[in-house]
């Protein structure tokens, strides 16, 4: 495999993070990956129909990606957010549950921040909890977990950040994944 993936005329992105950062369009192939997830429209539809998100592997550490995603979802989405971590009791003022089975609701999306080897087990927990989507965050790719979840009827998204995808589809990000700094609905100030 080459050392870079061409993400269009705008830039060339070094691998192995190329898949996570690539611009929308034809996804680059990565050696050893055979599973193909939903395209942009499919991810948009998943997020559009979502009412609740359970974050498995939520952390109370502000340096962790799960903390940043939790902060974003609580402040910038209309989702009911449930946090799962057996070692925590509260994060950002929200109660934390020991497992998906302990949640007071059936989550629409199970967003996972766990080690690679834990992913098939979390997929089974998502199935058992009645979730409709298993979402594996950036850097998480486990075809066994995806096959298990899909065979039970769940939608699966891998190696994508739910925060980035939500912001992209709701006007907060440029298609390349960065903040454009452009306000799309700004009132014109009248000169006095």
pLDDT digits (tens, 9 = 90+) for 131-189: 999 999 998 999 999 999 999 999 999 999 999 999 888 765 544 444 444 444 444 45
Note the pLDDT tens digit of each residue in 75-89.
Answer: 989 999 999 999 999
CATH of the domain at 125: 3.40.50.720
Residue 128 domain-assigned (yes or no): yes
CA 9, distance to chain mean position in Å, is 26
Residue 183 phi/psi, 5° resolution?
A: -90, 125
Residue 129 domain-assigned (yes or no): yes
Supply the mean pLDDT for the chain: 81
Distance from C-alpha of 178 to C-alpha of 94, rounded to nearest angstrom: 28
pTM over cut 0.85: no
Contact 18, 74 (CB under 8 A): no
**CA distances in angstroms from 37 to 58, 83, 174, listed in the order given:** 24, 25, 21
Residue 80 domain-assigned (yes or no): yes
Q: Is the predicted pLDDT of residue 21 greater than 80, yes or no?
A: no
Residue 186 domain-assigned (yes or no): no
Contact 126, 151 (CB under 8 A): no
Residue 178 domain-assigned (yes or no): no
Contact 42, 156 (CB under 8 A): no
Q: How many domains does the chain have?
A: 1
Sign of CA dihedral 117, 118, 119, 121: positive
Q: In degrees, to the nearest 5, what angle opens at C-alpha 118 toward C-alphas 75 and 108?
A: 40
Residue 143 domain-assigned (yes or no): yes
Strands 4-6 vs 12-14: parallel, antiparallel or unpaired: antiparallel
Domain boundaries, position 158: 38-169
Helix (H, G, I), strand (E, B) or coil at 80: strand
Residue 153 domain-assigned (yes or no): yes
Residue 119 domain-assigned (yes or no): yes
- Classify the phi-psi angles of 42: left when phi > 0, otherwise alpha if psi is within -120 to 50, otherwise beta: alpha
Contact 103, 54 (CB under 8 A): yes
């Amino acid at each position: 495999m080459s050392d870079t993936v061409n993400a269009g005329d705008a830039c060339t992105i070094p691998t192995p993070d190329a898949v996570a950062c690539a611009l929308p369009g034809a996804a680059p192939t990565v050696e050893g990956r055979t599973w193909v997830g939903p395209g942009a429209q499919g991810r948009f539809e998943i997020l559009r129909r979502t009412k609740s998100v359970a974050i498995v592997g939520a952390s109370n550490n502000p340096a962790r990606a799960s903390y940043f995603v939790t902060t974003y979802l609580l402040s910038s989405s209309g989702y009911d957010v449930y946090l799962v971590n057996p070692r925590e009791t509260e994060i950002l003022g929200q109660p934390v549950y020991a497992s998906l089975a302990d949640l007071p609701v059936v989550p629409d999306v199970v967003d996972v921040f766990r080690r690679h080897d834990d992913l098939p087990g979390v997929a089974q927990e998502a199935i058992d909890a009645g979730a409709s989507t298993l979402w594996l965050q950036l850097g998480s790719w486990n075809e066994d977990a995806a096959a298990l979840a899909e065979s039970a009827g769940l939608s699966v998204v891998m190696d994508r950040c739910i925060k980035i995808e939500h912001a992209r589809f709701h006007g907060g990000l440029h298609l390349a994944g960065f903040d454009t700094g452009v306000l799309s609905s700004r009132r014109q100030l009248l000169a006095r």
